[in-house]
Structure 1
Amino acid sequence: MAAGDGTRAPIDDETCAAVLNRLKRAQGQLAGVIAMIEDGRGCKDVVPQLAAVSRALDRAGFKIVASGMRQCIEARDGEDAPPLTEDELERLFLALA
């Protein structure tokens, strides 16, 4: 079955907590960027904050991909979840590129 259809093992609790923390931080940063734009702040102020939001989202995505890779390796060592295929892993990486 295709990735994203709910057949893969869920993100483990530790990774989930770390990803949610990063996403919540990014959400706060994005709210700040929106407020800066609404207040008429210039690009010198806005762009660095927008870049920080982008990095936070990228790091959350990379954390999820890394967790999937670990699950793939564990699946090959006898876990119940079917391993991610090489094509699926490549698509995940490319989605973040």
Structure 2
Amino acid sequence: MEPRQPEEHPACANPTERKSHHSEKVKTNLTSRLNRIEGQVRGIKKMIENDTYCDDVLNQISAVQSALNSVGKILLEGHLRSCVTERLQEGDTEVIEELLTTVKKLMK
């Protein structure tokens, strides 16, 4: 099996016009996950308003954090496979510093 080659996406290479270029399948997946997370956050708010036991609220917060981490991993993988790869192939090594800064933020 040959390694997957990134598709051409000029938007990645142009810093003034950088945009993501996710497939419709990925967008649908991410949107669905984010909708669930949004619902979970609303649920946490109601739990607090209803004086739900703290441990139960904390467990729900943990679930939301985990779900957000999953969304971040999907986005990071796509970013590495497309934008970062393309920019490196074009000789743009600034993308490494940009990526390191982003990864540090994700790992907080």
TM-score, normalized by length of structure 2?
Answer: 0.69
1:27 Cα offset (Å): 0.6
**1:12-38: per-residue Cα shift (whole Å, max 9, x none)?**
322222211111111111111111100
Counterpart for residue 46 of structure 1: 57
Distance across 2 between alignment mates of 1:9 and 1:55: 23
Match of 1:27 among 38, 54, 68: 38
Counterpart for residue 18 of structure 2: 7
Counterpart for residue 76 of structure 2: 65
Q: Could you say which structure has the larger radius of gyration? A: 2
**1:52-94: per-residue Cα shift (whole Å, max 9, x none)?**
0111111111211111001033x26x8xxx8871112212211
- SS in structure 2 opposite 1:41? coil
RMSD over aligned CA atoms reads 2.6
Match of 2:95 among 82, 85, 88: 85
Once the two structures are aligned, what percentage of the paired residues are identical?
26
| Segments ≥4 residues shifted beyond 2 Å | 8-15
TM-score, normalized by length of structure 1?
Answer: 0.76
Instruction: Check conservation: 1:62, 1:96, Cα contact below 8 A.
Output: no
Counterpart for residue 3 of structure 2: none
1:9 Cα offset (Å): 4.1
- Unaligned 5+ runs, structure 2: 1-13
- Unaligned 5+ runs, structure 1: none
Amino acid at match of 1:24: N
Distance across 2 between alignment mates of 1:6 and 1:85: 15
The count of corresponding residues between Structure 1 and Structure 2 is 91
